[in-house]
Amino acid sequence: MTRTELDALADGAVLAGPDGRVTAINTVAARLLGAEDAVGEHLADVLALQDHAGCAWFATNTPYDGLPTRTAIPEQSWLLPDGTEVLTVARILRPALDAPVEQVAVSIRSGRGRARLDRERSDLVATVAHELRSPLTGVKGFVHALLNRWDKLSDDQKKLMLTTVSADSDRLSRLIAELLDVARLDTGRLQLYPRPSDVAVLTRRVVESVAAGTSRTVELEAADGLPQVTVDPDKFTQVVTNLVENAVRHGEGTVQVTVDRAGDDVRFVVADEGDGIAPELRRRVFTKFWTAGTGGGSGLGLYLVHGLVKAHGGTTTIDDAPGGGARITVVLPVDAAGP
């Protein structure tokens, strides 16, 4: 392979012959390793990579030694002399299993992608910790008060505290369920248990529950004669709850919920009277950890909405509500989810 062909690769590439001498190196690898004139040099000298313990790549992996059945060195994390992380993968080529190594091909890429993944994981941990801390603080505080002042509290006070503890416990359970569903969506292991369901009844239950916990007005308008939709009722309820609570948290004025027909499909719409969502941000709304304003939230609700609706064969769109604010529309086919 010529230098021009190697330069077409997105990752760095270093090739070494049977004597361990570099036979070719592309521009990306030369830039990362600071070895423009590496051809003819020994691979151990060109790959000036070390781990956190100071061990060198070549001495650690010994690509020309070891079992004759070894054909590759899996992805590993190494450090350049300036401390920058790079990821390496190597192929060990032999003309036959009992023959000496004919060529070693090493691929090198920047560790920035891995660093970004680490940041995303850190964001997830920080988000989860923040969301868990608030209800846990309430549960702990009220339980502590009940244990230490039981005889001094009136029945109404005890009932209020226990009601609050129950609500915070439900919030914790929902957050944990959301996190599990996010993991299942990301790994393709989400399971649905669909059955014919009355989506108007499911929606009404959610609207009544959310309206009871907020001073905002939440109105429901459900068309008559809606057909039953084949959905997982728990997942559909989760979709409706996330959309209505999101409108209550981030919108203004009255939250209008509508369930009606859209041709052969059933349409579910949530609209508020807030500032709306700018067109350039609408694609980002359904990504993980997207939040708007100071309303709080885990940033996972709309990501889950999009994933769960898609799993049911439906679509989710965002546009402007007639009176201002945002309008999120979910359209589900009547036979939304198969077995």
pLDDT in tens, 41-85: 999 999 989 988 889 999 999 999 988 889 999 999 899 888 888
* DSSP letter string, 261-286: EETTEEEEEEE-SS----GGGTTTTT
How far is it between the farthest Cα atoms of the chain?
87
pTM of the model: 0.60
Judge whether residue 100 has pLDDT over 70.
Answer: yes
CA distance 205 to 302: 20
- What are the structure tokens assigned to 179, written together? 């996190």
Question: What band does 275 get if pLDDT is binned at 50, 70 and 90?
Answer: confident
What percent of the chain stands above pLDDT 90?
A: 47
Question: What band does 296 get if pLDDT is binned at 50, 70 and 90?
Answer: low
Q: What share of the chain is helix, strand, coil (3-state, %, to 5)?
A: 40, 25, 35
Question: What band does 226 get if pLDDT is binned at 50, 70 and 90?
Answer: very high
Contact 337/197 with Cβ under 8 angstroms?
Answer: no
Helix (H), strand (E) at residue 269: strand 265-271
CA distance 30 to 49: 13
CA distance 313 to 270: 19
Q: Domains along the chain?
A: 3-110 (3.30.450.20), 115-187 (1.10.287.130), 195-333 (3.30.565.10)
Torsion of CA 243, 249, 253, 254, to 10 degrees: 30
CA distance 13 to 10: 9
Pairing of strands 255-262, 103-110: unpaired
pLDDT digits (tens, 9 = 90+) for 122-171: 766 776 777 778 788 889 999 999 999 999 999 999 999 998 898 888 87
Residue type, 275: D
pLDDT at 336 (0 to 100):
58
CA distance 261 to 200: 11
pLDDT digits (tens, 9 = 90+) for 181-220: 888 888 888 889 999 999 999 999 999 988 987 888 999 9
Judge whether residue 335 has pLDDT over 80.
Answer: no
CA distance 143 to 136: 10
pLDDT at 10 (0 to 100):
87
Question: What band does 112 get if pLDDT is binned at 50, 70 and 90?
Answer: confident
